[in-house]
Amino acid sequence: SQQGEEDPQALSIQEGENATMNCSYKTSINNLQWYRQNSGRGLVHLILIRSNEREKHSGRLRVTLDTSKKSSSLLITASRAADTASYFCATDGDTGGFKTIFGAGTRLFVKA
């Protein structure tokens, strides 16, 4: 079953604006990850945040994690047309850490 629920389902912004995507999950986790998928291709890992971390940065990406609310957000600053893709959060959920369960995903469209 799907672990993560993401919102918005789709997001359209202008180049240069910031994009924020949210993810909620249901069970306890060891870590939460964000992946990106271009045009139905394979997924690319973006960033991992562990359950004892609250915020993490990587380039233009900023991820937050609130384990009390079972939620995470991904912020992409100064977006570019090349950021157009689907973004998925993923957790190890209640699986003993052996499996990765993906959320529904957010489709981001950045207009040039």
Instruction: Give helix then strand counts, H and E, for the chain.
Output: 0, 11
| Residue 102 per-residue DSSP state | E
Q: How far apart are CA 100 and CA 31, in angstroms?
A: 10
Which residue has 């609250």 as its token pair?
54
Q: Which of residues 25-84 bind other proteins (CB under 8 A)?
A: 30-31, 33, 35, 40-45, 48, 50
- Cβ-based nearer residue to other proteins, 20 or 100: 100
Which among 52-60, 61-69, 73-81, 87-95 is the span making contact with other proteins, rule CB under 8 A? 87-95
- Cβ-based nearer residue to other proteins, 1 or 68: 1
Q: Which amino acid is at 86?
A: S
Does position 105 bind other proteins by CB under 8 A? yes
Which residue has 């394979």 as its token pair?
42
- Residues of the shown chain interacting with other proteins in the complex, contacts defined by CB under 8 A: 1-2, 30-31, 33, 35, 40-45, 48, 50, 88, 90, 92, 97-105
